[in-house]
Amino acid sequence: MKRALSALLLMIVGVLAAAGAHAAELQVPKQVTAGNAFSIPTTGSGSATFYLVGPSHSAKRQVKLGSGIEVAEDEIRTSGRYIATLCSSDGCESADFFVAATNPAHLSLLVHPSRVRVATNNAMSAVAFVFDKFHNLVLQPVPVEFHITVKDTPAFSKSLNSSNGVAWLHLNSARKEGPAQVVASIQSDSEKRVVQQVASDACNLRIRAVRKGKFIAVETEPVRDCSGNSVPDGTVVTFTKVDASGKTTVDAPVKRGIAKVDMPAQGEATISVASGVAMGNEVRIGGTP
Amino acid sequence: MARIGGLLLIAITLVLVAAGWVTSGGLTRHEIRSASTPTEAVQSLLADVQAHNWDRAYARLANTGDVEQAAFTRDLNGSNGSLRTFSALESYDVWPQHSNGNEAVVRANLHWSTAVGPIDDVRDLKVEHKDGSWKVAWPVPSFPKVPPQVIPVNYLRWDIINRGAEDDWGEQNVDTPQVRIVSMNPIERPDRLIIVGEIVNEDTIPAYVNVNATLLDQSQNPLSQEGSFDKISHTLLPKQVSPYRIDFPGVKLSQVKSVRMDAKAMLVPASADPVIEVTAQRMDKDAMGKNVLRGQLINQSGQTVNIAQALAAFYDSNGKVIWVSDGYIDQALLPQTPVGFAVDLPPDVAGRVQNSHVTVNHYSIANNS
C-alpha cells in the first residue's frame, strides 16, 4: 500500500513537470524586419537560457519565464533565417523566424566590361543590386532607373523593377568611341560607372612611302576603324619591306593617329602593312635614280 | 770546407734564379711558346679565357700589336650589360679546318653558359706559326660607338590604377586584356611534340600573355601540360602578334587525341619604347651548315637594350605557322646600331618555308623592362 502511494505521488509530480515544460513554449513571429527590435512572449515561471542563432550573429542569455524576451535591433541586422531556442530545466524548445531586409537604401552597380569595341550589339551589361541600410539584399521589387549617357548622342533611360534584389539590362555600344556613363539609381542612392568604348580593328589601312637617300620613309594614313574612329595611340602597325638586302620588319606603334618608320633600302622595294589581323595595301618603290 | 761552401752558394744562386724565372712568368712563357699545333694553340687560349686569365690569354695572341688587351677582354667578356656579361665559357670544341705550315684556320665552338640558358658561338680562328710556336691571330674587334646626341622619345606608356581595398565590392575594376590564339599547329619531331602558333592582343591596352597547352589522350585524360615559357613575346602592345612554341619532350602525336589551349592575359604597365627594327632578313647557312634566318636588329630608341631575343615564326605557302625558333643576342643593342642575329630551323622545315616574321623581346637593366 505504501509503495502504491509513492508511485502515485511520483506520477503527479511528473504530470506537473510536464505541464511546466509546456509553459516554456516559444511563440515567435514568422517574419520581422531587419534592425527592428521585438519581444518573444514566454509563459511559465523560473529561469531559462535563451539562444539566438542567425546568419551572422549568435547570442546566449538567461531569461525569466513568464515575461517577454527582448531581441535587440543589433541582433537582427542581417536578413535570413534565425533560430530561437529556450532551454529550461524541463527541456528545450526551438522556433525559427525570418528577418527580411528593411527599406532600400544602397545600390551596387556592376557594369561589364570596362572597355568595349564600338558598334557591338549587347556588348555591355549593367547589373544593379538593391540593399537596405544594413547591406541586406532587398528581395521585394524596387524600381531602378538606368541612365546611359554617351558623348554626342542622346541620353537613354530605362526603368526596371528589381527581381529578387537584382535589376539588369544589356546595352549596345555606340558607333563613336568615347566613354559611356552608366548611372543606376533608386530613391535614396545612385551609382555611376564608366565604360570606355574603343575603336575596333583598323580598316582600310593605307601607307605611303617616299625614298629619302638610303632610307625609305613609310607612313600610314590616319589609322581608323570601319566606323571612322581613330585607333588608340600605341596600337602596333607592322611594316614589312622586301628588297635586294632581304626582308625588314618593324612593329611601330601608332602615334597621334599615324605610324611611321624609316627603313634602309637597296634598289627596288616592296612595302606592305598590317595591324593585328587586318592587312593594308602594298606599295612598290623604284630603285635609286 | 771552402769548396763545399762555394758549391752550396752556387746551388743556392741557381735555385733563386730558377725561382725568379718561374715567378716572373717564365714557365708560362715557355708553355705559351710551346704550342706545337694550331689546335693546341686555340685550346690553350680558350682554357685561359675559361679561367678568366686575360693576361695569359692575351699573351697567346699573334697580333697583340693590332688588338689591345682591353678590347680583346671586352670582346670575350661582354660589355654594356649584355648577355655575355652574364655568361661563362663552360666548354669548347676545337677542330682544324686547314693548315699550310705557317697559317691555319681552326674552328672553335664555344659553349657559353648564360643567364638564359646555354648559347653556342662558332668562330673560325686564324692561327699563325710565329717564333717557333703557334699563336692565335684574334680578329680585331670593332665596337660600335654611338655619337653624342639627343634622341627624342615620346612613345606611349600605360600605367594602371587598380581598384582599392576599401572600394565597394561592386566598384568596377579594369578588365584584363582580350587576347586570342589565332593559330595552333602540332608538329611531330623525332624526340618531341611541338605546338606552334600565334597569339594576338585584340585589345587597346598592353597585355602580359602566356600560353599553356594540355595534351589529352584517347580517353580525354590529361597526358602532359606545358607552357610557352620564353618562346613567346610576353608583353604585347595593342594589336601586336606574337608567335609561341610549346615543347612536349618524349610525346608522340599518335598518343594525343586533342589539345586544350589556354591563353592567359594580365593587365600590366608597359611602354611602346623601344622600337626595334628587324632588317636584312634572309635564309642562310651558318658555319656548321645549319639552316638559319639571319638579319640585323636596329634599336631605334635612345636607350640601350641590354638583352634581346629574336623570336621567329616561319610560314608555309598557305600562311600556316610551321616552325617557331628563337635566339638570344649576346651583345647589347646600342641606339641606332645594327647587331646581327640568327635563328636556326631544321632542314626539312627550311625547304617548306615561304615567309617569316621576327619579333624581338627586349630587356633593359635601366628600367627593369
DSSP B86: G
- Distance of residue B203 Cα from the nearest chain A Cα, in angstroms: 9
In this complex, the residue of B155, B241, B282 whose CB is nearest that of residue A276 is B241
Tell me how far apart the terminal alpha carbons of chain B are, to the nearest angstrom.
80
Q: Is B164 on the interface with A (CB under 8 A)?
A: no
In the prediction, which pLDDT does A8 show? 45
Which residues of chain B lie closer than 8 angstroms to A183, CB-CB?
A: none
In eight-state DSSP terms, residue B270 is: E
Under 8 Å between Cβ of A267 and A243:
yes
Partner residues linked to B312 by β-bridges: B325, B358
H helices of chain B, in order, are 2-23, 26-33, 38-50, 54-59, 69-77, 347-350
Residue B367: its pLDDT value, please? 63
Rounded-to-integer distance, Cα A279 and Cα A239, Å = 10
Cβ separation A276–B282 shorter than 8 A: no
Decide if pLDDT at A273 tops 90: yes
What DSSP element (H or E) covers A12? helix A2-22
What number is the average pLDDT over the span A135-159? 91
Q: Residues B133-161: what's their mean pLDDT?
A: 86
- Domain B177-267 in CATH 3.40.228.10: no
Do B58 and B136 form a contact (C-beta atoms < 8 A)?
no
Segment A248-257 shows an average pLDDT of 90
User: What digits encode the pLDDT tens for the residues A177-198?
Assistant: 999 999 999 998 999 999 999 9
Q: pLDDT (tens digit, 9 = 90+) per residue, A193-218?
A: 999 999 988 999 999 999 888 889 99
Domains annotated for chain A, with CATH where assigned, are 20-99 (2.60.40.10), 104-198 (2.60.40.1930), 202-285 (2.60.40.1930)
Specify whether domain B276-363 bears CATH 1.10.1240. no
Residue A115 near residue A178, CB atoms below 8 Å: no
B252-282 pLDDT, tens digit per residue, is: 999 999 999 999 999 999 988 899 999 999 9
- Quick check: A139 pLDDT over 90? yes
Residue B144 CB coordination number (10 Å)? 14
Interchain contact B59–A (C-beta under 8 A)? no
pLDDT attached to residue A24: 53
- Per residue in A82-108, pLDDT (tens digit) is 999 999 888 899 999 999 999 999 999
How many other C-beta atoms can be found within 10 angstroms of the C-beta atom of residue A89? 11
- Give me the residue spans of the domains in chain B: 27-137, 177-267, 276-363
Give the pLDDT band of residue B170 (cuts 50, 70, 90). Answer: low
Structure confidence at residue B297 (pLDDT): 95
CA distance A181 to A168: 15
- Contacts of A125-129 with C-beta under 8 Å, sequence gap 24+, read A125/A168, A125/A169, A125/A170, A125/A171, A126/A168, A126/A169, A126/A171, A126/A182, A126/A184, A126/A193, A127/A166, A127/A167, A127/A168, A128/A162, A128/A166, A128/A167, A128/A168, A128/A184, A128/A191, A129/A165, A129/A166, A129/B170
| A255 residue type, one letter | K
Kind and range of the H or E element at A9? helix A2-22
Burial grade of B80 (CB within 10 A; 0-12, 13-18, 19 or more): middle
The average pLDDT across B183-188 equals 95
Chain A positions touching chain B (beta carbons under 8 Å): 108-115, 129, 191, 193-194, 198-199, 201-202, 231-238, 245-253, 255, 261, 263-264, 275-278
The reported pLDDT for the residue numbered B89 is: 94
Q: Which residues of B touch A251 (CB under 8 A)?
A: 237, 240, 275-276, 359
pLDDT confidence of residue B25? 53
Cell triple for B236: 604585347
pLDDT, residue B114, reads 93
- Give burial (CB, 10 Å; 0-12/13-18/19+) of B207: buried
Of the candidates B300, B317, B308, the residue with the CA atom closest to the CA atom of residue B359: B308
Tally the C-alpha atoms within 13 A of residue A266's C-alpha that lie toward its C-beta. Answer: 8
Mean pLDDT calculated for residue range A214-240: 92
> Per-residue confidence at A13, pLDDT binned at 50, 70, 90?
very low
**Residue B250: its pLDDT value, please?**
94
Nearest 5°: phi and psi at A175?
-85, -20
Arithmetic mean of pLDDT, A163-187: 93
**CA-closest candidate to residue A267, choices A246, A239, A247, A286:** A286
Q: Which helix (H) or strand (E) holds B361?
A: strand B355-363
| Model confidence at B166: pLDDT above 90 | no
Return the pLDDT at B33: 52
CA distance B369 to B363: 5
Whether cis (ω within 30° of 0) applies to the bond prior to B190 is no
> Cα–Cα–Cα angle for B15, B17, B18, nearest 5°?
65
Return the pLDDT at B20. 67
Residue B57 has pLDDT above 50, yes or no: yes
pLDDT at position B34: 63
Q: How far is B179 from chain A (nearest CA, A)?
A: 11
The verdict on domain B27-137 having CATH code 3.90.420.10 is no
CB atoms A246 and B272 under 8 Å:
no
**pLDDT given at position A154:** 85
Secondary structure in 3-state letters for A99-158: EECCCEEEEEEEEECCEEECCCCCCEEEEEEEEECCCCECCCCCEEEEEEEECCCCCEEE
Do B204 and A231 make contact, defined as CB atoms within 8 angstroms?
Answer: yes
Is B177-267's fold the same as B276-363's? yes
Mean pLDDT over B155-179 rounds to 80
Any CB–CB contact under 8 A between B172 and chain A? Answer: yes
Mean pLDDT across chain B: 89
In sequence order, what are the beta bridge partners of B294? B282, B342
**pLDDT value at residue B8:** 82
Q: How confident is the model at residue A246 (pLDDT cuts 50, 70, 90)?
A: confident
Residue-level pLDDT at B241: 93
Q: pLDDT grade, residue B163 (50/70/90)?
A: confident
Question: A14 falls in which pLDDT band (50, 70, 90)?
Answer: very low
Distance CA B46, CA B57 (A): 8
pLDDT of B161 reads 82
Residue-level pLDDT at B369? 55
pLDDT more than 90, % of chain A: 63
Looking at CA atoms only, how far is residue A175 from chain B in angstroms?
Answer: 16
Mean pLDDT for the stretch of residues B56-84: 91
Q: What is the pLDDT of residue A19?
A: 41
Confidence band (pLDDT; 50, 70, 90) for A9? very low
H or E segment to which residue A94 belongs: strand A91-100
Assess contact for A142 and A190: CB atoms under 8 A. Answer: no
Model pLDDT, residue B31: 54
DSSP codes, B173-215:
PPPPPPEEEEEEEEEEETTEEEEEEEEEE-SSS-EEEEEEEEE
In this prediction the pTM is: 0.77
pLDDT of residue A43: 84
Query: What is the C-alpha separation between B238 and A77, in angstroms, rounded?
Result: 49
3-state secondary structure of B53: coil
CB contact under 8 A, B237 and A235: yes
